[in-house]
Structure 1
Amino acid sequence: MKSKPHYFFAVVIPDDVKKTIYHEMKRRQFPFKRFTHPDDYHITLSFIGAAEENALLEACTLIKQKLLNERPFQVTLSSFHTFGTPLSPRIFWVGMDESEALYRLQSHVADACRKAGFILDKKPFRPHVTTARKWIGEGPYKPGSEPEWPSFQINEVALYETNSMNEPRYTKKWSHFLNLRKEE
């Protein structure tokens, strides 16, 4: 029996930034069991899980309304981090600067999702790009020197569908560009 796909809303990362992250991961040769495909790099704003199409459409409409006056903004990648124990991290990720605009964007998306009837995770938002999973190194992960990470413009929010049988795993189903108009 085929399982239902899962969905999430996320910031779309520009291709040149995806390439930078990928090359940095490849250069360091970290011992993880599974690496995120570069096309799957994103910043999750709200994880939905399994969902009916009409609820997803409602969430998309509400998000578009909430983001009408939001303008594109810059963020800068900052450092490597892990989730899980330092001896055997589950998730390896790249963090970013603490952007008020990014937190506001996430809040708008989460509010729209809740209004559409979705129950969201209560953990605080921690913006990041997951790059690898399941540490298989012989010793604990030790942070090394940080690369010079790029800044990039956030200007698109998308709804992604997960398919764990494919590589890349995520398919963009809908997106909305932030308001590109100059203030009058």
Structure 2
Amino acid sequence: MRLFIGLELPHLIKAELGLLLQRPPLAGARWQSPEQLHLTLRFIGGVPDSQVPDVQAGIANLASAPFTLQLQSAGCFGPAYRSRVLWVGATPEAPLAHLHTQLNQRLAALGYEPPEQDFRPHVTLARFGRSGGDVEAFLNRHARYRSSAFPVEWFSLFASLPEPGGVRYEVLQRYPLRPVL
């Protein structure tokens, strides 16, 4: 089972992002559906079914207070003329980085080493094939994008399930954020 940990987005935020998804065509873009929109905190990857309960128990009871988040500014991975991923960022980054670090520590204790790339909190809007896509006009048009602020009171363990025509994300478990005592 392919697993990742992330933040579910409120319906209002998905609706706001849906307006960005109603876009002029971008050659090669595979747009996320509103149901797929989320913020990934930690990709885990393939996990044998027998180890899923260990992962679920291992990431429970983190000491991290609820916080408020806002999505802002369109960005991309790769150069704008040949992007691989089109996204919107998140602020403030500090509570997300704190969660990411705690999750990495817990998962490392279970044998899942942290990723080598730096953590860049974002919500993926579209992906492109190997040749990439030219997203410069989109980035310019949405450079000042700001979502409504929204509370983050839990994080979720997701399964990525392949289906005809794409992938469906299913929440396996939600974990409430709890202040440090």
**TM range, smaller chain:** 0.7 to 0.9
In the alignment, which residue of structure 1 is the partner of 2:170?
171
1:158–1:173 CA contact under 8 A, matched in 2: yes
Provide the rounded CA distance (Å) in 1 between the counterparts of 2:117 and 2:145. 29
In the alignment, which residue of structure 2 is the partner of 1:156?
154
In the alignment, which residue of structure 2 is the partner of 1:105?
99
2:81–2:135 CA contact under 8 A, matched in 1: yes
Match of 2:89 among 95, 99, 102: 95
Match of 2:47 among 51, 59, 79: 51
Say if 2:13 is the partner of 1:17: yes
What amino acid sits opposite 2:101 in the alignment? S
In the alignment, which residue of structure 1 is the partner of 2:77?
83
Cα deviations by residue, 1:20-72 (Å, 9 ceiling, x for unpaired): 1112221x32515311111111111111111023433222212213x1x3221
1:7–1:50 CA contact under 8 A, matched in 2: yes
May I ask how many residue pairs the two structures share in their alignment?
Answer: 175
Provide the rounded CA distance (Å) in 1 between the counterparts of 2:135 and 2:151. 34
What displacement does 1:9 show? 0.9
Provide the rounded CA distance (Å) in 1 between the counterparts of 2:132 and 2:60. 43
Could you tell me which runs of 5 or more consecutive residues in structure 2 were left unpaired when the two chains were aligned.
none
Provide the rounded CA distance (Å) in 1 between the counterparts of 2:133 and 2:105. 43
Could you tell me which runs of 5 or more consecutive residues in structure 1 were left unpaired when the two chains were aligned.
none
Using a 3 Å threshold, how does the CA distance of structure 1 residues 138 and 99 change in structure 2: closer, same or farther? closer
Aligned-residue RMSD, C-alpha:
2.5
